Chain A
Amino acid sequence: MTDIANEQKPVVPAIPKGRSSGDTETIPVTQQTIQTLTKRVLELLFLLMFISTLLFFLLRLTGDPAAVLAGETGDQEQLELIRKQYGLDKPIIVQYGVFLYKMVQLDFGSSLANAQDALGLVFERLPTSFTLVIIAFTANLIVSIPLGAWLGSRPDRTGRKLAATAVFIAQGIPGYIIGLLLIQLFAVELRWLPSIGNQGILSWIMPAITLAAFQAPQVVRVISANVAEAMREDYIRTARANGAGFNTLLWRHALKNAMLGATALIGAQVSFLVGGSIITEVIFAWPGIGRLLVTSVQTLDFPVVQAAVFMIAIFVYFAITMTDIVFLFIDPRLRRQRA
């Protein structure tokens, strides 16, 4: 994701001394990697600060947090005990300080449901969710990029028009409906695939497709639009005049350039995929962090909710930063920044 501030620089940039050509200066990859990292870490800290503050005050604004923590069964004595235990009898500013101090140490307390360490519970579920998101992400790119390129290469042909319409309709179908349709077809009608839980390799198929379906149509459409635009550029005409075949033109020249515009979208994909993975995990009774989040939100198990939201934020940021840096190395054009 490129910095918006740099895209729309209003003033004509001063041309650096000793440089005669162009208004851009290439910043070394290492330096830009460090810049990206610093920026992302700053954003992540800001986000975590915001989330914890939001949770802290929401919990206190909406009533007595002790009552929430005690659940429906808590009597007066229990409430007092919980207030003492969690320091809820102290002034709110002190509580906030203590709360933030604990957040910094990643100390979320223990689950209200079964007294297990909240962070431990989340870590237990993290690998399954992580793998599912990675599989869906990769599958999405493997299918969407060639499909988009194919659609964009000759957008005026009848077959492609029909395919583009199908992609447009698919974009209007939310992922969880696709998940239900898949269950209906493959688990209920055909009985080919197990519909719930993680029972071996077969049970990964439907959740991965469902999750990939959350964003695949959008990627296809962006790539196809970019490729269609790239195919009209002068360098394509030059390459064609030099005798390059259609396939070379499309896959080596047009697609490469079309990917630049899609980079930002692909980075943002991770966030959508994580959002989608919550629903996917609930549909397929998947033992991951999303389902943990939903069940703990339903039972108002706040320590676990906090730990899960924190880990999701950290995971998303990790993934986005990785995408940023990988694309920085793949695509030399991203290394350029206006001087």
Chain B
Amino acid sequence: MTTATATDKPAPAFRFNKLGTGSFQLDLGILIFALVVLALLSQWLLLDSSDLDGNLTSRLKGPGFTGRDGIYHLLGTDQLGRDLLFRVLGGLPWSLGISGVAVVCVAVIGTFVGLIGAWYTGIIRTLVLLGIASMVAMPFLVLALVVVAVVGRGFWPISLTMGFIAWTAVARVIYAESRGLLTREYVLAARLFGVSKWSILIFHVLPGLRPTILVMAAFFFAVLLIIESALSFLGLGAPLNAPSWGNMLSDSRQYLVNAPWMMFVPAGAIVTSVISLNLIGDGFAELSRKRARAVEV
């Protein structure tokens, strides 16, 4: 280990070169996700609250329909004559917002618990590992379903519930990674210098975990987005009138014969967001693999 000082400490995770990140997947994912976020921001400029109201004279009309009131419905209307484009846009704060808040909770709690488990030995580690192992096996849709039913169906109850339930898989990976990092020589050196526990964990171990956290966060964002829509789809997520994508899908089930576009519009929105997040996750993973290979050579 003569080159220990050069290779031991992880270099900065991802470097942005001239244009793009060096991974096509990541570029594409970021591009699509940026468009989704742009759509999220645009609605405060473009969308009035009255746009979400329905007009019963133009119920269940297909894409490209112009109503009697002269409003053009690009993506068609639903069973109450509400414009689907506006509803999909109005669903963005629910779907992206809830899973966004949840993914922050998941990353923070998961990293914290994983680090605690890796640092301490004895009873604390045993408890952390037992907790993670037992919780990981429980399908978290089941837990989320039950908890949300009791605590209520607003934005914050749903997002916090999902955040406090789904962190175990992250904690498990962070634990394994930081066990590895804690055996590195620079950590030993820091300990010999008398650097405190929290300084080592936050300033020396955490930066090395960044690639892992980014990858896991991107994938969990997608998973939580799916879970959020699933909850709404089951009628136990966002309030019934909220234009959440899961609610729209759930509404569409009764009109699959007459108005299939009611299903395709929210389904397309969910699939686009999930694919862009999966691309970002895969891209980050690819970049960190490339970097690891570069360090080895």
CB within 8 Å of B: which residues of A? 4-5, 7-8, 10, 39, 42-44, 46-47, 50-51, 54-55, 58-59, 62, 168-169, 171-174, 176-177, 180-181, 183-184, 188, 268, 271-272, 274-276, 278-279, 282-283, 293-294, 297-298, 300, 305, 309, 312-313, 316-317, 320
**Residues of the A chain whose Cβ atoms lie less than 8 Å from the Cβ of B179:** 4, 8, 10
- The answer to whether B253 touches A180 (Cβ under 8 A) is yes
B150 interface residue per 8 A CB criterion:
yes
- Residue of B150, B253, B260 most packed against chain A (CB within 10 A): B150
**Residues of the A chain whose Cβ atoms lie less than 8 Å from the Cβ of B271:** 169, 172-174, 177
CB within 8 Å of A: which residues of B? 129-131, 133-143, 145-147, 149-152, 172, 175-176, 179-180, 182-183, 222, 226, 229-230, 233-236, 249, 252-253, 256-257, 260, 263, 267, 270-271, 274-275, 278, 282
A to B CB contacts below 8 Å, 8 in the list: A4-B172, A172-B271, A173-B267, A174-B271, A180-B252, A278-B139, A309-B146, A317-B137
**Residues of the A chain whose Cβ atoms lie less than 8 Å from the Cβ of B151:** 58, 62
Q: A171 to B25, alpha carbons, bound, how many Å?
A: 15
Nearest-CB distance from A216 to chain B (Å)? 15
- The answer to whether A174 touches B139 (Cβ under 8 A) is no
- The answer to whether B141 touches A275 (Cβ under 8 A) is yes
Nearest-CB distance from A197 to chain B (Å)? 15
**Residues of the B chain whose Cβ atoms lie less than 8 Å from the Cβ of A297:** 145-146, 149, 236
- The answer to whether A44 touches B134 (Cβ under 8 A) is yes
Q: A184-B260, A279-B230 are in contact. Are A298 and B236 (CB under 8 A)?
A: yes
Q: A43 to B134, alpha carbons, bound, how many Å?
A: 5
- The answer to whether A309 touches B142 (Cβ under 8 A) is yes
Chain B residue, CB-CB nearest to A8: B179
Q: List the count of A-B residue pairs having beta carbons below 8 Å apart.
A: 140
**Residues of the A chain whose Cβ atoms lie less than 8 Å from the Cβ of B182:** 10
- The answer to whether A174 touches B270 (Cβ under 8 A) is yes
- The answer to whether A316 touches B139 (Cβ under 8 A) is yes
Which residue of A4, A46, A305, A312 contacts B139 across the interface (Cβ within 8 Å)? A312
**Residues of the B chain whose Cβ atoms lie less than 8 Å from the Cβ of A271:** 136-139
Q: A7 to B141, alpha carbons, bound, how many Å?
A: 29
Give chain A's interface secondary structure class: helix
Q: A171-B278, A177-B271 are in contact. Are A47 and B138 (CB under 8 A)?
A: yes
Chain B residue, CB-CB nearest to A214: B226
Q: A279 to B134, alpha carbons, bound, how many Å?
A: 23
Q: A102 to B52, alpha carbons, bound, how many Å?
A: 49
Nearest-CB distance from B111 to chain A (Å)? 16
- Residue of B137, B150, B229 most packed against chain A (CB within 10 A): B137
Q: A172-B278, A177-B270 are in contact. Are A4 and B175 (CB under 8 A)?
A: yes
- The answer to whether A275 touches B130 (Cβ under 8 A) is no
Which residue of A39, A274, A300 contacts B142 across the interface (Cβ within 8 Å)? A274
Nearest-CB distance from B106 to chain A (Å)? 16
Q: A174 to B230, alpha carbons, bound, how many Å?
A: 9
**Residues of the A chain whose Cβ atoms lie less than 8 Å from the Cβ of B129:** 4-5
**Residues of the B chain whose Cβ atoms lie less than 8 Å from the Cβ of A5:** 129
Q: A47-B134, A174-B274, A271-B138 are in contact. Are A4 and B176 (CB under 8 A)?
A: yes
Nearest-CB distance from B261 to chain A (Å)? 11
Chain B residue, CB-CB nearest to A59: B150
12 additional A-B pairs beyond A47-B135, A313-B138, beta carbons within 8 Å, are: A4-B176, A5-B129, A50-B135, A58-B150, A59-B150, A174-B270, A177-B270, A271-B138, A274-B142, A282-B233, A300-B149, A316-B137
